[in-house]
Every structure is written in C-alpha cells, then in structure tokens.
C-alpha cells in the first residue's frame, strides 16, 4: 500500500497516511486528483481505478470514500476486503461510527490504523485482537 486516504464527498481529507515519502504540495495534489477520480464514479462501476502508474482501490461508506493506492500487480479484491475490515474495526471501536467521530478523534483513528497496517502491509487481520489492543493502550493513558 502506498497511501491511504479518507475523504468526504466534498473532498475534505479526513485521514491521510502515506507510506512513501512525498512533498506536502505533492500530497495535496494527489488527494485532489484521487478525489476527483473517485467521486464521480457510478456505484455500479468497479472499485478499482488506474491512477498514474498505480491503482486506486476505493470503497464508499455513506459520504466517506476510503481509498487505497496499491501496486498494479497487487490483488485488488483482498484490499477491497481489507477496507471493509478497517471500517468494521472503526465501527466497533466507536460503536456505530460516523464522520464526526473520525473528525474529533482523528488521532485515535490513526492509532487504529497503525495497529492494522504497518509499513504499508497488513499487520493484523483479527478485528478482536485490534480492539482489545486498543483497549489496553487506552488504559495505559
């Protein structure tokens, strides 16, 4: 995975995590382009779009777009599945997640993401393990 973006329909970035080094200006351009690419697609269309030399795999949950940028040779379906898993984890953690949860607890979202994906690779596939881990971490504070 090269980067993960969470954007709402207006193109506001709610979460951005890059696993490749990029300049800030480059990041903004990218976020803008991905948003434009993803937002106009019909729900019947595939969840995969070719983007520059890579592929963007996106999934829409209500007003939020979860986009992953992966290599062209990667298995698209499994990343699509992992987006879903991530959303389920968020849903569990915030019990019925909505966009506002993500805005006000953005640092927690990042922490969950760090438990889920590390160095651009899936780290843990068990929803239960991640939730428990988050609980332990919270208790530490």
List residues binding another protein (CB under 8 A).
13-16, 18-19, 21-22, 24, 28, 41-42, 44-50, 75-78, 80-82, 84-85, 103-104, 106-107, 110-111, 114, 118-119, 121-129, 133, 136-137, 140-141
Rg (CA), the chain: 15
* Beta strands 117-118 and 121-122, pairing class: antiparallel
Residue 20 or 95 having the CB closest to another protein: 20
Residue 12 or 62 having the CB closest to another protein: 12
Residue 62 or 128 having the CB closest to another protein: 128
Please report how close the Cβ of residue 76 comes to another protein at its closest, in angstroms: 6
Please report how close the Cβ of residue 126 comes to another protein at its closest, in angstroms: 5
Please report how close the Cβ of residue 136 comes to another protein at its closest, in angstroms: 7
> Is residue 90 a contact partner of residue 83, using CB atoms and an 8 Å limit?
no
Q: Write down how long the chain is.
A: 141
Please report how close the Cβ of residue 65 comes to another protein at its closest, in angstroms: 16
- Transcribe 63-82 into DSSP letters: TEEEEEEE-TTS-HHHHHHH
Please report how close the Cβ of residue 77 comes to another protein at its closest, in angstroms: 3
CB-based contacts of 58, cutoff 8 Å, min separation 6: 34, 38, 47, 49, 65, 66, 67, 68, 83
Instruction: For residue 41, give the 3-state DSSP assignment.
Output: coil
Residue 62 or 110 having the CB closest to another protein: 110
């Amino acid at each position: 995975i090269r980067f993960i973006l969470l954007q709402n329909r207006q193109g506001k970035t709610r979460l951005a995590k890059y696993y490749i080094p990029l300049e800030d200006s480059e990041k903004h351009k990218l976020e803008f382009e991905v948003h434009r690419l993803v937002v106009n697609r019909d729900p019947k269309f595939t969840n995969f779009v070719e983007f520059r030399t890579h592929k963007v795999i996106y999934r829409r949950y209500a007003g939020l777009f979860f986009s992953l940028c992966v290599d062209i040779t990667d298995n698209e379906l499994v990343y699509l599945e992992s987006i879903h898993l991530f959303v389920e984890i968020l849903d569990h953690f915030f019990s019925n997640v909505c966009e506002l949860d993500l805005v006000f607890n953005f640092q927690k979202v990042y922490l969950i993401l760090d438990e889920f994906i590390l160095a651009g690779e899936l780290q843990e596939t068990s929803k239960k393990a991640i939730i428990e881990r988050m609980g332990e971490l919270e208790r530490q504070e």
